[in-house]
Amino acid sequence: MKKLATKRMKTNPESGYLSSLSLLPLRAKVIKNEKENSLVSLLTLDLHLGALPGQFVMAWKPGMDEKPMSIAEVKPSLQLAIAAAGPCSKKLSETKAGEYIFVRGPLGKPFWPVGKKWLMVGGGYGFAPLRFLARVGMDSGCSVESICGARTKDLLMKEAPGKNHITTDDGSAGKKGNVIAVLEPLLADKKMNFDCVYSCGPEKMMKAVAEMAKKYGTHSQLSVERYMKCGFGVCGHCAMGGWLSCIDGPSIDGEEALANPAFGVYHTDRAGRKIKY
């Protein structure tokens, strides 16, 4: 399989890549706040961005830090799936209709199309940007299947367009086990012949997905989001080896990720300390 080299982000607003406008905070009114599951809220904003699947925004409310948030959809307007995982994300997820938040973006390198038959593999709230990608793919005539995994039934995300496979660690919905329990049989079936596997979720899960795709000779792309502070390559906090998640990614070729000595091995915390997975 041909290895695709990562290139620094272009300055081209028409492509959705970094532009000067991406760095300006925009005031956005929350039109709707819907519960996706017991942890995740889907915020629909009165903001229209020319974003592509795999990109993100930096979101914040006054009195709290900025946090990177994957873009869950752009139609009819910008949507963010926010998991209440910490104090800042909890405040964002609790924003009511009629209230305001601020966002900067779109930022980051989006997924890129490979062939016409795609397989999505998402873990937890990492499935949200894959739904966006699945919709875009189907709109352009691609065949799309998805695997959505979660620890339990109450943590499952809403299904993506196309055929969906469900896995839960405890067997409360779909197939019992993690996403690999469904992924490997699909890749092993030569009749399926997927052109690309796209994955977003916990890093250890994505590493297993990339290894499985490589085993069966299928191209893969991952969305690797490390701890970000600036979102546009200045602070270097989101480095994974010599690769910066905010501008070289978050989307990365699976084999390139596997070649990175930090991928799936350690990450950095808020203070910049290396933490093993």
CATH number at residue 199: 3.40.50.80
Residues 86 and 35 in one domain: yes
CA gyration radius, the chain: 18
pLDDT of residue 273 exceeding 90, the answer is no
Sign of CA dihedral 255, 121, 206, 89: positive
pLDDT of residue 112 exceeding 50, the answer is yes
Q: What percent of the chain has pLDDT over 90?
A: 76
Are the CB atoms for 16 and 106 separated by under 8 Å?
Answer: yes
Regarding beta strands 196-200 and 219-223, do their DSSP bridges make them parallel or antiparallel, or are they unpaired?
parallel
Q: What percent of the chain has pLDDT over 70?
A: 92
pLDDT given at position 56: 96
pLDDT of residue 9 exceeding 60, the answer is no
Determine the average pLDDT of the residues in 253-262.
96
Task: Please tell me the total count of domains within the chain.
Answer: 2
For 117-139, b where at least 16 C-beta lie within 10 A, e where not — what string?
A: ebbbbbbbbbbbbbbbbbbbbee
Helices 203-215, 180-188: inter-axial angle, 10-degree rounding: 20
pLDDT of residue 15 exceeding 60, the answer is no
pLDDT of residue 167 exceeding 60, the answer is yes
Distances in Å between the Cα of 194 and the Cα atoms of 42, 107, 121, 215, 233 are: 30, 28, 13, 13, 33
Determine the average pLDDT of the residues in 69-74.
96
107, 128, 160 - which closes a domain:
107
- Quickly count: other Cβ atoms within 10 Å of residue 275's Cβ: 9
Determine the average pLDDT of the residues in 97-118.
96
Residue 1 lies in a domain: no
Instruction: Return d(Cα 255, Cα 260) in angstroms, integer.
Output: 9
pLDDT given at position 18: 52
Q: Which residue has the higher pLDDT, 204 or 12?
A: 204
81, 107, 133 - which closes a domain:
107
pLDDT band of 16, cuts 50, 70, 90: very low
pLDDT given at position 3: 36
For 183-221, b where at least 16 C-beta lie within 10 A, e where not — what string?
A: beebbeeeeeebebbbbbbebebbbbbbebbbebebbbb
Residues 36 and 151 in one domain: no
pLDDT band of 255, cuts 50, 70, 90: very high
Residues 146 and 263 in one domain: yes
pLDDT given at position 163: 96
Lowest mean pLDDT among 82-91, 114-123, 159-168, 234-243: 234-243
Residue 3 lies in a domain: no
pTM: 0.91
Residue 6 lies in a domain: no
194-243 pLDDT tens trace? 999 999 999 999 999 999 999 999 999 999 988 888 888 888 888 898 89
Long-range interactions of 15-19: CB distance < 8 A, separation 24+: 15/52, 16/50, 16/51, 16/52, 16/55, 16/106, 16/110, 17/109, 18/107, 18/232, 18/247
Residues 174 and 246 in one domain: yes
Residue span of the structural domain in which 239 resides: 117-276
pLDDT given at position 5: 35
pLDDT given at position 20: 52
> What is the chain's mean pLDDT, rounded?
90
Return the H-helix or E-strand segment holding 33: strand 26-35
Write down the residue that tokens 């499935």 correspond to: 127
Residue 8 lies in a domain: no
Instruction: Return d(Cα 129, Cα 250) in angstroms, integer.
Output: 12
